[in-house]
Amino acid sequence: MELTKKELIENFVSTEVTEEEAPALIKLGEEMIPFCVTHGGVGLAAPQIGTFKRMFVWQIKESDASEGYQIVFNPKYYKNGKQVRMLEGCLTYSQEHYFTERWKGITAVFYTFYEGKFYKVSKQISGIRAVIFQHECDHLDGKTIAVVGEKLDDEKNKAFVEDFRRKAEIRQGLPEIPSNTAIQPKASIGGAGSASVEFSPNK
């Protein structure tokens, strides 16, 4: 399994998953999850690995293992609350970060597949989980962070990446590496869907 070139997923709308297709795509999702975990991901959409169907895997609870992830089919969401300005990354755009506008809270609607049938799920989510869900849904409509966002300039991006790496090493118990970081993220997560995320007030 490998990541698809960005040019092939930008502005490409994926098609709905049918119940007949779901069993094969469950197997694909089961392969996507360890791929996502291995790359430090919190989400991975099917188009990112060359399957243009409306599905993704995402982290639903804090865990370094595959058990913390879920396979989602035909997702959509409804806005709830205010928008926030975000700084997001994506495995499709390695080491790049973009400012985006996200809804702070959403009603997520999607399907899971169990014993040959789709089961509809509707839930209220907010914060980082809401951002991840919106990010992955956008992939299914070809709206990558590069398409809808504003790229962070190279100097600040380099500082952000270094700061993120330094904090990850600290979390893993490694010696702290001095940094001249210009950006201090208030909240950050690793991931294919959102390699790093910063909350900041909406302008």
Which of the residues are catalytic?
136
CA distance 13 to 15: 7
Phi–psi pair at 31, nearest 5 degrees? -85, -30
Phi–psi pair at 118, nearest 5 degrees? -85, 140
Q: What is the dihedral of CA 160, 166, 170, 174, to 10 degrees?
A: 160
Concatenating the DSSP letter of every residue in 120-184 gives EEEEEEEHHHHHHHHHHHHHHTT--HHHHSEEPPHHHHHHHHHHHHHHHHHHTTPPP-----S--
Beta bridge partners of 127: none
Cβ neighbours of residue 104 closer than 8 Å, sequence gap 6 or more: 81, 82, 83, 84, 126, 127, 130
DSSP secondary structure code for residue 48 in this structure: G
Residue of 48, 90, 67, 92 whose CA lies nearest to 189 = 90
